[in-house]
Amino acid sequence: MPLYTTPQYPEFIFNVRGSNRDKATFQALQQLVSLINQGTLDSGRFKEFNSKSFIELTEKDLMANNEDKLIDAVKVLSKLATSRQTVQDLHENFLEAYRHIDILFGKDRTSKEDFQKIQDSLKVIKEFGLANLRYKEALIDAETARLIVEQALEVVNEIKNR
């Protein structure tokens, strides 16, 4: 649905149906006249105004300047949450698997069964290690992301604290 505004009152957005620009701007004009008749808008500001005077708005026009930064920041924080959960989930298995590494450094004879445990343990250690590296990288990026989110929420916090 097309969105329109006027240069006189850019804070008022007229949402109309239809893809035909002439019909859509006519509907927006009807909404504008209704607001003038209700006394919401001052008719004196609309001298020589017609349906062609409307400004069509796009979704991009309605986006905040830093909207992309906020979306990216939330993605980074989501990555942090996912990687932290993965590290926590794998931690117990890692501790158990790491104990098998001691077998490699021992002087005792190692059985095929022990070697199989070591191989399985190395897979767990690798999985945990990669998850931990991802978590550390995400943690570094998350500090900046957190600041961006906090800046976006400043107004909300100010209103809440009143």
Per-residue pLDDT tens digits for 72-92:
889 999 999 999 999 999 999
The whole-model pTM stands at 0.52
**Residues 33 and 19 occupy one common structural domain:** yes
Per-residue pLDDT tens digits for 137-155:
999 989 999 998 888 887 5
**Residues 13 and 40 occupy one common structural domain:** yes
**Residues 150 and 81 occupy one common structural domain:** yes
Per-residue pLDDT tens digits for 32-44:
888 889 988 888 8
Write out the residue range of the structural domain in which residue 34 sits. Answer: 3-62
Give the distance, in angstroms, between the CA of residue 66 and the centroid of all CA atoms in the same chain. 11
Three-class SS string for 43-71? Answer: HHHHCCCCHHHCEEECHHHHCCCCHHHHH
